[in-house]
Amino acid sequence: MTSPHRRGACPGLSAPMPTGDGLLVRFMPTAPIGLDAFAAFCAAAHAHGNGTIEISARGSIQVRGLTPDSAAPFAAEVAGLGIAACDGVQVIASAADGDPGALIDAAALAAALRCAITDARLALAPKVSVAIDDGGSLHLDAVSADVRLRAIGPARRPRLQVALGGDDAMATTLGAIAPSAAVAAVLALLRVIAKHGPTARVADILRMDGAGVFAAVTDGLIEAARPPPRRPPAAAIGQHRLRDGNLALGIGLAFGHAHADTLAKLAYHAGELGVRNVRTVPGRALLLIGAVDASAAALTASAAKLGFIVDPADRRRRIVACPGASACASGLIAARTIAAELAPRLVGEHTGVTVHISGCVKGCAHPAPATLTVVGTQRGCGIIRDGTARAAPSGFVDPSGLAAEIARLVKPTVEAVHG
């Protein structure tokens, strides 16, 4: 095993990152995970770490609390489970295999692109990523990526919209290509990033040089095309009908984390009710794939009893929180503890309202602006409206009185939103 990663790098299985509660590893599953393998993974996370498993905003799995002595045995156990995953350049594909609305096979295109990136041996920043959206209902519009591909057009002859930087709303559109040209086009775009240095990201290049440097290398591959229409937000939580007639049940992890033992219990109950496998999805959620209509209600009730989010309107979904102190060495407030205390006090629907609770100014859990951000500082909890954790707070609150203050501040915001 190599030495622990530096801060800012992606802590894969072979190179864990030190943090407040030990070493952390992260990897991206690239296919559904069989329930037996998933349960064994949870057991390994408990045996070798502190039992905390997280699903990130992009659908990666993170395991916390490993030690220098346990990290290598953990990696070896996970490797033996045969879970398809990558810990190189993140190529994020639509996860609902069998989605009736899918226009392309995103998983196959992602696999081909991962192989091509590996063969190209590009020196890219650790967090450079590619999103491949199959055009189905569980789309990736909210996922931020350096290069974005979105399937558009008629199912019999789909095209791929190519965009750069940010989520769907913020990305810069280059045009559209045939699926057969996708690998060549993405490699050309990634080479531009690599030429700007090992820490370069698309957003930096667009800000300094504009989109012209990317358009130049894809001339002849990408045709001019208008951006496709915006879509309603993807709702991973709930039931999703698959092409084979079965269901994929989406459940959320409260504030992005759960204990390994709880996840193992979920896998056991899901297996008893006919689920075949599980898949992580963007938005800190899991899909339980292969359920049938007769068992869906029982499976939903079981997941809810274990503390998972099964209702899209669950108040916990309106709050984004990082681990905070003491799990993170940089955290100055116990972000997830505060989030759990705050959630029951949020009233109203709160649709579209995001409360971001960040242990420090880095804002790892939610880099984008939020309606209300609480950031840990040496002066207490900083309050920021319509900004990121890096913005200057408009005021400070003692952590003991934070829940009441946030509830007071958010209520007028919700009333303003809903009129």
Query: What is the pLDDT, as a whole number, of residue 3?
Result: 45
Report pLDDT for 1. 45
One-letter-per-residue 3-state SS of the chain: CCCCCCCCCCCCCCCCEEECCEEEEEEEECCCEEHHHHHHHHHHHHHHCCCEEEECCCCCEEEEEECCCCHHHHHHHHHHCCCCEECCCEEEECCCCCCCCCCCCHHHHHHHHHHHHHHHCCCCCCCCEEEEECCCCCCCCCCCCCEEEEEECCCCCCEEEEEECCCCCCCEEEEEECHHHHHHHHHHHHHHHHHCCCCCCHHHHHHHHCCHHHHHHCCCCCECCCCCCCCCCCCCCEEEECCCCCEEEEEECHHHEEEHHHHHHHHHHHHHCCCCEEEEECCCEEEEEEECHHHHHHHHHHHHHCCCECCCCCHHHHEEECCCCCCCCCCCCCHHHHHHHHHHHCCCCCCCCCEEEECCCCCCCCCCCEEEEEEEECCEEEEEEEECCCCCCCEEECHHHHHHHHHHHHHHHHHHHHC
pLDDT number for residue 101: 92
Q: What's this model's pTM, rounded to 2 decimal places?
A: 0.90
Domain boundaries 17-82+236-311, CATH class: alpha beta
Question: Nearest Cα to 223, choosing from 153, 166, 168, 171?
Answer: 153
Tell me the CATH class for 316-418.
alpha beta
Please give the chain's pLDDT, 419 residues, in tens: 444 444 445 677 878 999 999 999 998 999 999 999 999 999 999 999 999 999 999 999 999 999 999 999 999 999 999 999 887 789 999 987 889 999 999 999 999 999 999 999 999 998 899 999 999 999 999 999 999 999 998 989 999 999 999 899 999 999 999 999 999 999 999 999 999 999 999 999 999 999 999 999 998 899 988 888 899 988 899 999 999 999 999 999 999 999 999 999 999 999 999 999 999 999 999 999 999 999 999 999 999 999 999 999 898 998 999 999 989 989 999 999 999 988 887 765 545 557 999 999 999 899 888 989 999 999 989 999 999 999 999 999 987 788 778 777 776 544 433 33
Q: Where are the domains of the chain?
A: 17-82+236-311, 102-135+141-217, 316-418
Handedness of CA 253, 257, 263, 267 (dihedral sign): positive
Q: Which residues are registered as beta bridge partners of 404?
A: none
Tokens standing for residue 217: 């290398």
pLDDT at 354: 79
The pLDDT assigned to 419 comes to: 36
